[in-house]
Amino acid sequence: MIDFLKEWLMKPKEVKPVQPRMTDNELMVRLKVFIGVCLALTLIGIVFVVLYSIMFVTQPLNAISPIDAKFFELIIPIATFLTGTLSGIMLAGTGENAALAGSNASKAAAAPKPVAPPPPPPVKKEPVMDVIDEDGIG
């Protein structure tokens, strides 16, 4: 029994991957979905907090409280930024080139620049002198 356990413990284990590795395109799509979901949840949270503060928090009769005014000053640019970012992510192309645009751009930037051959040396041209014959024709 001990020999069997020793043999079983010493036997090399083969670990097989559960899923094959994802391609760059699949990873970019998953990243887009994750970022989109996070931004959408943040934007939805902001909208509900603003709506709650407007509807259920007691305000002065003729104006909004100064703290809420500052709160809205802070929230409006954040919500605008999140809406723009979310729409940019969702409207970005879905093809492989669009999904890998950043990766391709970084690869292109890191690639060595091709060296142009040096220009050929200038050719010296000798001035042509017209010789006039005795009869005046060149």
The structure tokens listed for 108 are 């292109």
The contacts of residue 83 (CB under 8 Å, 6+ apart) are 43
In which band, very low, low, confident or very high, does the pLDDT at 117 lie, cut at 50, 70 and 90? Answer: confident
What pTM was estimated for this model as a whole? 0.48
Burial class (CB in 10 A: 0-12, 13-18, 19+), 99: buried
The structure tokens listed for 112 are 């060595």
| Tens-place pLDDT, residues 56-110 | 877 777 777 777 778 778 888 888 888 888 788 777 765 555 556 656 666 766 7
Pick from 104, 71, 85: nearest CA to 32: 85
Residue 56 is classified by DSSP as T
Q: How much is the average pLDDT of 17-32?
A: 81
CA geometry: angle 120, 122, 123, nearest 5 deg: 115
Dist. CA 43–CA 4, nearest whole Å: 60
